[in-house]
Amino acid sequence: MRDFQPNTIIEPFRIRSVEPLRFTTFEERDQALRRAGYNPFLLHADEVLIDLLTDSGTGAMSSRQWAGMIASDESYAGATSFYKFEAAVRDITGFKHVLPTHQGRAAEHILFTTIARPSHVIPNNTHFDTTRAHVEHAGAEAVDLVIDAGHHPRLIHPFKGNMDLDALASVIRETGPDRIPAIMLTVTNNSGGGQPVSMANIRAVSDLAHRHGIPFFLDACRFAENAWFIKTREPGYADKAPLDIAREMFSYADGCTMSAKKDGMANIGGFLALNDDALAAQCRGLEILTEGFPTYGGMAGYDLEAIAQGLYEALDPHYLHYRIRSIAYLGDKLVAAGVPIVQPTGGHAVYLDAREMLPHIPPLQYPGWALNNALYLLGGVRGVEIGTVMFGLRPDGSEGPAAMDLVRLAFPRRVYTQSHVDYLVEVILEVYARRERLPGYRIVWQSPTLRHFTARLEPLSES
């Protein structure tokens, strides 16, 4: 007998603890959506059947993670759980100083409060919302420099999250290195469709930064998914383990911010890790003020245990193969049916192109919002609009279209199975078939900042 290679990629786990789904009728969802001011953020989670609002903190933990949590050390200072966490982060990232934080944005807060000042500029491929907000809160300017391919939803490119190196060189020249306290790369590029950054690009950005004496940081939330894309798409990496690829990615950087709610496989947590002794000492001072003593930083000992284990599980090749394939599986079915999506599919989500799908709804009548609400009404599916409701309100109170009107369907890690995805395909195709009849929306109430979280809307016509 010879070995054989099956083609079916299976979920690399079996399920020992289950959480029932709650089914609702169309009428119940219609009522729920009205009550929520047609804003899916204001739904109760048990009114949602398949919840793809985010992949952040929504994953399932493994039996090994739970075992670690039970055995955690909850000492205020010097807990063994901290040293386990620190050892795991150091082993994977190679960074000398590890500062735990309660989630990713807390690491951003500590870093940018410490290094950024008014008149400073921080380049990134694309800043995530909270990263941009912390840069701006420190008075600095956040500049997005993703390559041009990153702006075209249908253009196929293996590393659409790459930084535009010429644009970065120009920004350094025009701004002057003294006013650039850090250059950042977000891996994968969440706001740009979950698209990866190549090792060559990470290395080139690092070289450029260091030639000008500028520190280089990774926003590493989805570092393991990025490592898998490098393994499968970049020449020379096919035979390398994701752990080694991740180590190489981090080796070019001086530090990173991390939300462990993504590739930390945990429900909460994060860290700031870096090599510079003086900067680490400054950051620790602020950490004590805002997060807690540096051996727990806003987390319980059991959270530190979950992350110490989760970081390695995220790098398991069987897990990553299944993870990236399950997103592509949905994307392939949608593309085959003609549904416009951001291509190629990214690491953690499928992004539907609502502006393309709903040309009868102008951006200021929020096609992404309309599409997301239709997915909920017809199938109990909740995604998130990444479009004009989220980005269209300017600081002066005026409104304009966002660059794109997308709906992100982000997959919690190890939570849904293939039949959930098949169901999802059916729902999306049904909405697609009815697309010409979907109504636009108008906002009836909004807050002046981050309006999408709390806005109340109504459909422009009942369908």
- Residues that bind ligand F0G in the complex, under the rule CB under 6 A: 54, 56, 103-105, 128, 130-131, 186, 190, 219, 221, 259, 261, 270
In the complex with ligand F0G, which residue's Cβ is closer, 54 or 388?
54
CB of 7 to ligand F0G, least distance (A): 32
- Cα 439 to Cα 22, 44, 361, 365, 430, distances in angstroms: 27, 23, 7, 9, 15
CB of 32 to ligand F0G, least distance (A): 22
In the complex with ligand F0G, which residue's Cβ is closer, 304 or 358?
304
SS3 (DSSP) at 399 = strand
In the complex with ligand F0G, which residue's Cβ is closer, 49 or 133?
133
Q: Beta-carbon neighbour count of residue 396 at 10 Å?
A: 6
Question: Which residues, in sequence order, are CB contacts of 252 under 8 Å at separation 6+?
Answer: 202, 203, 205, 206, 216
Task: Tell me the two tokens of residue 226.
Answer: 């990025």
| Residue closest to ligand F0G (Cβ) | 104
**CA–CA distance, 191 with 29 (Å, rounded to integer):** 29
CB of 110 to ligand F0G, least distance (A): 12
CB of 105 to ligand F0G, least distance (A): 3
**CA–CA distance, 137 with 11 (Å, rounded to integer):** 42
- Cα 336 to Cα 206, 215, 354, distances in angstroms: 39, 44, 17
Angle, helices 80-93 vs 242-251, to 10°: value is 80
Scanning the structure block, which residue is given the tokens 């992949």?
A: 55
In the complex with ligand F0G, which residue's Cβ is closer, 221 or 243?
221
Which residue in 453, 91, 139, 107 sits closest to 308, CA to CA?
91
User: Could you give the dihedral angle defined by the CA atoms of residues 404, 407, 412 and 414, in that order, rounded to the nearest 10 degrees?
Assistant: -100
CB of 436 to ligand F0G, least distance (A): 30
**CA–CA distance, 413 with 348 (Å, rounded to integer):** 8
CB of 107 to ligand F0G, least distance (A): 8
In the complex with ligand F0G, which residue's Cβ is closer, 130 or 326?
130
Whether the CA torsion 411, 129, 147, 161 is positive or negative: it is negative
CB of 128 to ligand F0G, least distance (A): 4
Side-chain half-sphere of 169: how many Cα atoms within 13 Å? Answer: 7
Question: Which residues, in sequence order, are CB contacts of 44 under 8 Å at separation 6+?
Answer: 32
- How big is the CA angle at 242 (ends 166 and 344), to the nearest 5 degrees? 55
CB of 220 to ligand F0G, least distance (A): 9
CB of 413 to ligand F0G, least distance (A): 13
In the complex with ligand F0G, which residue's Cβ is closer, 215 or 459?
215
In the complex with ligand F0G, which residue's Cβ is closer, 228 or 432?
228
CB of 359 to ligand F0G, least distance (A): 27
In the complex with ligand F0G, which residue's Cβ is closer, 104 or 331?
104
In the complex with ligand F0G, which residue's Cβ is closer, 120 or 132?
132
Task: Tell me the two tokens of residue 351.
Answer: 């992004």
In the complex with ligand F0G, which residue's Cβ is closer, 106 or 361?
106
